[in-house]
Structure 1
Amino acid sequence: MTAYAEKKARLLRIVDGALQAVAPDPALRAAVKREGNILAVDGRKYDLDDYDRVLLLGAGKASAAMAATMEDILGDRLDSGLVATKYGHGLSLARTEVMESGHPVPDEAGVRAAGALLERAADARERDLILFLLSGGASALAPSPLGAVSLADKQEATRRLLECGAAIGEINAIRKHLSRFKGGHLAETLAPATVATLIISDVVGDRLDVIGSGPTAPDDSTFPDCQAILDKYRLCHRMPDSVVRAVADGCAGRAPETRKAGDLCFARVRNSIVAGNAMAVHGAATAARDLGYTPVVVDLAMEGEARDQAARLIRLAGKYSLGGGETRPPVCLLAGGETTVTIKGGGKGGRNQEWALAAALEMTALGDAGERISAMSLGTDGTDGPTDAAGGMAFPDTACGERSEAAGRALAENDAYHFLDGAGALLRTGPTRTNVMDVAAVLVDPA
């Protein structure tokens, strides 16, 4: 058993604090209240007597859990519902049908889910109130390929974008322009119904046009932006021909753009964020404080290569460990956001596991200062990459001595999963039914 069992227990307490702070049920109940026939959503009141039907629609990793809460709030005033979520994240609900599909690479089940959602949206009428439940993962979970672009083409495009290290905003810009569902197109289909979208954000800056690729929000990105992304990552010769042609047709004005601000389809749509990454970081900070650590929030917009961000935070922790920080240990450094991994090896892992492995190597490089540091990086949805782990942990002994060379090889091969698993340093939470990007915590103990 590792000598750092107590530190591991502390990190797990911080994980629990982060996840509890962004659980869908309390987040929704804070934003949605019902008194009789008056439903208040983020401060705006809707008189249920004004509507013939109240319907739930949704997509994302948290959508089933969100629907469960909304069923309880609405009671028998809810007519029906349909949500699309990730495999293993579904629930058995009384009035809402739950469809499960693939993530991060879309599959045929997702195409069926998107088709069912669009069919119900097309049936919406002027005296309907639609509560749309949106959370991270919706882009992949509800694919609706446009024109000559097939599902297989979208799958390949998604893989290529993930592998090259493109940011989520760049990935979603491409997705929106290849979809009948995203980029405001769902709002267009729902019109003229009244729409209240409740959002759990998984995007740095909580940009409405990026979360779930913005099905009910105006889109600022354009076909020329998509072309620039393909050029930036030199993807034109690695993407399916249909995708390259679709972008070129859009740039030439031969394909319709996504819906933009000012379009009439948004006249009766309101988007409200009920939970986001900052809330998870705050929950982690509260848990750290309860453990006797002074929380220091370093970054709420952590982006870039996972290994680089890990090294940056561990080096800062080393400064605190040597007494050079603004606060004396015990200190908990916190960061939130979403990093990326440029895949160059053939290993297994995810961005949070790669972060943890790089953090362990950086601890070893710090020498004595690293002996007082432990760290974790968590994917709040409970899934980090194509693995059963939510992230990873790092301790002073994780990559020290004889393990250092093996750790370096694993990092070079993007094989953090197998190394951390062997070291007993994987984080496994199971499906959390929420998704607000990632939370990283670094504990610095006193000498």
Structure 2
Amino acid sequence: MFRNRDRSAETPAHETALACLEAGIAATLPERVVADRIALDEETIAVGGATYSLDTFDRLVVLGGGKAAGGLAAALADRLGSRLDDGCVVTTDVESGSVGPIEVREGDHPTPTERNVEATRTILDRAEAATAETLVLALVTGGASALLCAPAAGLALSDLQATTDALLASGASIDEINAVRKHCSAIKGGQLARAAAPAPVVTLAISDVVGDDPAVIGSGPTVPDGSTFGDALAVLDRYDLRETIPDPVVDRLERGVDGELEETPDAGARAVAAAADDWHSLANGRTAIDAARGVARERGYEPLVLSSRFAGEAGEVGRVHASVAAEIVAAGEPVEPPAVVLSGGEVTVTVDGDGTGGPNQEFALAAAIELAESGADAVLASVDTDGIDGPTDAAGAIVDRGTVPRDEVDPARRALAANDVYDDLDDRSALLRTGYTGTNVNDLRVLVVPAAD
């Protein structure tokens, strides 16, 4: 999975970190989760304790988007065979084509492009063509917020592109970003389910969101939206973005606050509320952590899950993890070595410089500096499970106390301050590369503390 793995696996501790990461990613791949979580035969689909009789419907259609949507579509097409009638999904890591009767469109992430818009229009058209005798399987995975892109009336794609870029650079959380996206879209915030009505909609999701809130994953295209135009406008004010966001977006949000525009469907919208009852999570960050924990235990390490819900500034969270390593080495707390400490979630970066990098890379470099200063014998690896950390070709990085020599701490700190960590880590042979993995459950971090010599 990891390119140049032999170079990165320079010690048993490094090799264990990589093996834990690989197991976590593999456990969340679409073909694996479909096999593990969905029971399919010629007559029924069973998932999450619910069973859907295919004989009740004239047509079975698959619609949706996200980084794992192509893999999910392929796994479903393979299992459902001739029972599947039609579909369209938009994803990132495959060329446009088809899997069975499902059309697979290639889109772009994190900034939407015209091909995202074209694919989303096709998805909405097919949703609107559904009838009460159609069962819609909606695939919603990480990355769907950008890939399912349909500008609301009065907005252009360029407005959404500029808004997305500004929000991503602001340090706003994913739920804050999505509150704005939903109110600039014709598909997010329950609007896909509303378009498909009266067809029943069953959502199959792979979560990339801390807490697995269905309204946040992919901006909740099939569930009620609890956010409002007022909430979206408050995000712009919170991060001082009114002068940065395009005027048509600000104007739309202000008109919505004034009651001139219809809100996204809330829990009172019957069709969308019904779709929320048939929403199923197939995998999430905890799925990856549990698989990594199994590998650690098999290798004789005591595993400890620190948290699957880390958020906040990447550099700060990296320093916290390095401090945990130092405490384990010095005092055997919170776990005795040899130990593997696991965590997940989604860290963010507030961009002040103009360099290149990503959240997992900033996490790793900040941790490497702390490990250099404490001298703690530990290995720390952090990746985005989709294989793409920020706008780079790296999934993340793996570091230890020797990654940043003590006399190079100041240049490393300057790279962090400039948000320019990619080249610094690459020069230190610390970057991890996988290419697109085909899944996305956010960050996975592995801290390995070997037994004392």
Q: TM-score range by the shorter chain?
A: over 0.9
Instruction: Report if aligned partners of 2:30, 2:439 keep a CA contact under 8 Å in 1.
Output: yes
Q: Which residue of 2 aligns with 1:431?
A: 436
Match among 314, 335, 339 for residue 306 of structure 1: 314
Q: Which residue of 2 aligns with 1:9?
A: 15
Instruction: Determine the C-alpha separation between the residues in 2 that align with 1:89 and 1:218.
Output: 32
Instruction: Report if aligned partners of 2:305, 2:343 keep a CA contact under 8 Å in 1.
Output: yes
> Unpaired runs of 5+ in structure 2?
1-6
Q: Which residue of 2 aligns with 1:373?
A: 378
Letter in structure 1 aligned against 2:32: P
Instruction: Point out 4+ residue stretches in structure 1 off by more than 6 angstroms.
Output: none
Quote how far apart the aligned CAs of 1:328 are: 1.3
Q: Which residue of 1 aligns with 2:3?
A: none
Quote how far apart the aligned CAs of 1:45 are: 1.7
Q: Deviation digits for residues 72-101 of structure 1, max 9, x if unmatched? A: 221111112211001447675222111011
- 1:23-422 equivalent positions in 2, closer than 5 A: 23-88=29-94, 93-266=99-272, 268-269=274-275, 270-367=278-375, 370=376, 372-422=377-427
Letter in structure 1 aligned against 2:339: V
Quote how far apart the aligned CAs of 1:305 are: 0.1
Instruction: Determine the C-alpha separation between the residues in 2 that align with 1:12 and 1:78.
Output: 38
Quote how far apart the aligned CAs of 1:145 are: 0.6
Letter in structure 1 aligned against 2:134: D
Instruction: Determine the C-alpha separation between the residues in 1 that align with 2:119 and 2:154.
Output: 20
Instruction: Determine the C-alpha separation between the residues in 1 that align with 2:11 and 2:425.
Output: 15
TM-score calculated relative to the size of structure 1: 0.96
Instruction: Report if aligned partners of 1:199, 1:275 keep a CA contact under 8 Å in 2.
Output: yes
Distance change (3 Å), C-alpha of 1:355 and 1:89: farther
Instruction: Determine the C-alpha separation between the residues in 2 that align with 1:326 and 1:382.
Output: 30
Distance change (3 Å), C-alpha of 1:2 and 1:153: closer
Letter in structure 2 aligned against 1:293: Y
Letter in structure 2 aligned against 1:344: D
Distance change (3 Å), C-alpha of 1:128 and 1:249: same
Quote how far apart the aligned CAs of 1:428 are: 0.7
Instruction: Determine the C-alpha separation between the residues in 2 that align with 1:82 and 1:242.
Output: 30
3-state SS of paired residue (2:323): helix
Instruction: Determine the C-alpha separation between the residues in 2 that align with 1:416 and 1:8.
Output: 21
Q: Deviation digits for residues 336-395 of structure 1, max 9, x if unmatched? A: 10000001111111100111111100101213xx2x111011101111011111111111
Letter in structure 2 aligned against 1:104: P
3-state SS of paired residue (1:33): strand
Instruction: Report if aligned partners of 1:64, 1:91 keep a CA contact under 8 Å in 2.
Output: no
Instruction: Report if aligned partners of 2:373, 2:406 keep a CA contact under 8 Å in 1.
Output: no
3-state SS of paired residue (1:322): helix
Distance change (3 Å), C-alpha of 1:395 and 1:89: farther
Quote how far apart the aligned CAs of 1:3 are: 9.6
Q: Deviation digits for residues 198-234 of structure 1, max 9, x if unmatched? A: 0000101000000000000111111111111111101
3-state SS of paired residue (1:218): coil
Distance change (3 Å), C-alpha of 1:145 and 1:399: same
TM-score calculated relative to the size of structure 2: 0.95
The alignment of Structure 1 onto Structure 2 pairs a total of residues equal to: 444
Q: Deviation digits for residues 294-339 of structure 1, max 9, x if unmatched? A: 1111111100000000111110111001124032101111111000
Distance change (3 Å), C-alpha of 1:111 and 1:182: same
Quote how far apart the aligned CAs of 1:183 are: 0.3
3-state SS of paired residue (2:348): coil
Instruction: Determine the C-alpha separation between the residues in 1 that align with 2:393 and 2:94.
Output: 11
> Unpaired runs of 5+ in structure 1?
none
Instruction: Determine the C-alpha separation between the residues in 2 that align with 1:91 and 1:363.
Output: 47
Q: CA RMSD in A?
A: 1.5
3-state SS of paired residue (2:194): helix
Q: Identity of aligned pairs, percent? A: 43
3-state SS of paired residue (1:384): coil
Instruction: Report if aligned partners of 2:93, 2:436 keep a CA contact under 8 Å in 1.
Output: no
